[in-house]
Amino acid sequence: MEDRIIGRVYRVNGPVIEASDITDAMMMELVRIGEGRLVGEIVKLAGNTAVIQVYEDTTGIRPGDDVFGSGMPLSVELGPGLIGTIYDGIQRPLEALLEASGEFIAKGITRPALNREKKWHFIPSPGLKAGDTIAEGFALGTIKETDRVSHKILVPAGKGGTIKNLTAEGDYTVADSAAEIETASGIAKIDFYHRWPIRKPRPVKQRQPLKIPLVTGQRVIDTLFPLAKGGTVAIPGGFGTGKTMTQHAVAKWCDADIIVYIGCGERGNEMTDVLMEFPELIDPRTGTSLMDRTILIANTSNMPVSAREASIYTGVTLAEYYRDQGYHVAVMADSTSRWAEALRELAGRMEEMPAEEGFPAYLPTRIAEFYERAGYMTVLDGEEGSVTIIGAVSPPGGDFSEPVTQHTKRFVRCFWGLDRQLANARHYPAISWLESYSEYLDDVSGWWETHSGTSWLKNRAEIMELLQKEVRLQQVVKLVGPDALPDSQRFIIEVCTLFKNAFLQQNAFDDIDRYSSVEKQVRMLEIILTYSRRGADAIRRGVTIVKLRHMKIVQDIARMKLSVANDDTTAMDKLEARLERAMDQLESIYE
């Protein structure tokens, strides 16, 4: 198919090529250019001219070079072998390319996204046989892809019908035939993989309301600004405030089944960190390697901008494919600002009319289209699956009023704003408790309350109210000094300081602290609230703040995040009992 010449290069402008003498081409068609067969996509068609966005370095391409058509849009390959692989923005397998061409990837080199030699063990769905009818999106059988991922071989969209032939249990490559199905438009041969255009959302049966949190093990997130499975969140933050660290922490510890991590225009060494670290890390819930659930897409700052533009669609399409198999998938994009900059650069080269800060007028539409691909769905075969999207935003100068942050805010329902002052004070994660929000609180409160048996939403509201009061009290302190405040108000500041140190700050490098279970978070908050409530009571009875502050138990509370293991409920029970006793004692003196 690649030898069908559909036109000729007319002008080269960086990653954008204009072609003339175009015949028989379609919008968004995947094309190849010149002798090197560089991969590109038709982004504009007018008469017999086309504008092509090229995904590789175009030096060496000259006017007159041939443009070859493929007859299909830019697509990804979907099948077993995706997990654990590192791809670039157009799903070229980076390791295989490096093996083929040495240290730098030679131009025009192609390797299939899915290994064509590797054999997989296929087990047909129980009871399924020739003569049965099967609808699109249903499983012909399964392949064990990794220790934790059982990969369903789905009937691709539009290929449902009567099974003529179903491949028996055995070992096959992705290019072998899984079945032959008689569809309304003839016999379809189904392989163990299929292609899907990256810019087109995969079909589902129905969108569901969000109810289940994506538990991340990060206390400030789960307890204060929870994300729902199928939801969307933005992490905006200035240079070096912890966007990547936050994304990595969520990628490592969240309770999604599959992680798609898109390194989009960031430094190469950040991706190397992921590559070195993930295989070593063990998922606390399953005991398997974290790489067994992770797909990496690396389009670092030194790679072509147009592939960066494509990378987020490639990532979200892979995520939807696992969602369609009934999995909960989390997609991280770091950073969507670099993606928007790619969009701006390409738009500039296509001489499109710039809107705000040089971004094209369709920037908000594109951002919306990306986040809309998140959701909790009933998939075609009736199972449930979800795609959650977590996008980092890097506003220049940390100024959240710039277009990418502002538009993103319109389309996400959760916002983890990173605060420069907190980062400078080494309060990590530097997620601001004043600027961040989650619109999923009511959605997920039912889950939290059944799983923890506590008034989760009420407890959260109580601590948030104290944090807000503290801001006002701190302003007073600034004006007139702490001594002007009555003990009851100074105690609020005391409780908030404890909460920030003992709860909100979380050390990503500590073996215990890096991940807090649901149970541990709930108990920690309760203990701090007990201290707050009983302390306020004690002050009313005449206990001084100095006495409260110097209780030995307060130091133990401050250390519980580091000293109490996630499943050690006995230690939490003891801590709580000791706190109650210490408070009883303190009050008894004043009775």
Ligand X SMILES: Nc1ncnc2c1ncn2[C@@H]1O[C@H](COP(=O)(O)OP(=O)(O)OP(=O)(O)O)[C@@H](O)[C@H]1O
Q: Which of 230, 233, 227 is nearest to 409 (CA)?
A: 233
230 binds ligand X (CB under 6 A): no
Q: What is the DSSP letter of 289?
A: B
d(CA 329, CA 309): 21
Q: How far is the CB of 395 from ligand X (least distance, A)?
A: 10
- How many residues bind ligand X, per CB under 6 A? 14
Enumerate residues 6+ apart whose C-beta is below 8 A from 161: 133, 134, 181, 182, 183, 184, 188
242 binds ligand X (CB under 6 A): yes
Angle formed at CA 74 by CA 68 and CA 79, multiple of 5 degrees: 120
Site string for ligand X, 148-177 (x = CB under 6 A): ------------------------------
Among 236-244, 341-349, 353-361, 572-580, the segment contacting Mg ion (CB under 5 A): 236-244
Residue with token string 């220049």: 396
**Strand 150-154 vs strand 139-144: parallel, antiparallel, or unpaired?**
antiparallel
515 binds ligand X (CB under 6 A): no
Q: How far is the CB of 338 from ligand X (least distance, A)?
A: 9
Q: Select from ligand X, Mg ion, none the partner in contact with residue 232, using the beta carbon and a kind-dependent cut-off of 5 to 8 Å.
A: none
Q: Which residue in 34, 226, 237, 417 binds ligand X (CB under 6 A)?
A: 237
* Nearest to Mg ion of 244, 336 (CB atom): 244
304 binds ligand X (CB under 6 A): no
Q: Which residue in 428, 456, 491, 499 binds ligand X (CB under 6 A)?
A: 428
CB 462 within 8 A of CB 454: no
Contacts to ligand X from residues 443-502, by CB under 6 A: none
* Nearest to ligand X of 404, 538 (CB atom): 404
244 binds Mg ion (CB under 5 A): yes
CB neighbourhood size of 277 (10 A): 13
* Nearest to ligand X of 274, 441 (CB atom): 274
CB 48 within 8 A of CB 18: no
Q: What is the DSSP letter of 125?
A: P
**CA-derived radius of gyration, the chain:** 27
Q: Which residue in 36, 108, 203, 240 binds ligand X (CB under 6 A)?
A: 240
| E strand or H helix at 263 | strand 258-264
405 binds ligand X (CB under 6 A): no
Q: Select from Mg ion, ligand X, none the partner in contact with residue 429, using the beta carbon and a kind-dependent cut-off of 5 to 8 Å.
A: ligand X
Q: Select from ligand X, Mg ion, none the partner in contact with residue 241, using the beta carbon and a kind-dependent cut-off of 5 to 8 Å.
A: ligand X
DSSP string over 76-88? EEESTT-TT-EE-
400 binds ligand X (CB under 6 A): no
399-406 contacts at long range (C-beta below 8 A, 24 or more positions apart): 400/236, 402/357, 403/340, 403/356, 403/357, 403/359, 403/363, 404/336, 404/337, 404/340, 404/359, 404/363, 404/367, 405/234, 405/236
Q: Select from Mg ion, ligand X, none the partner in contact with residue 15, using the beta carbon and a kind-dependent cut-off of 5 to 8 Å.
A: none
247 binds Mg ion (CB under 5 A): no
Site string for ligand X, 254-283 (x = CB under 6 A): ------------x-----------------
Cα dihedral value 433, 439, 441, 446, nearest 10 = -170
Q: How far is the CB of 417 from ligand X (least distance, A)?
A: 12
Q: How far is the CB of 238 from ligand X (least distance, A)?
A: 7
Which residues of the shown chain bind ligand X in the complex (CB under 6 A)?
Answer: 237, 239-245, 266, 394, 428-429, 507-508
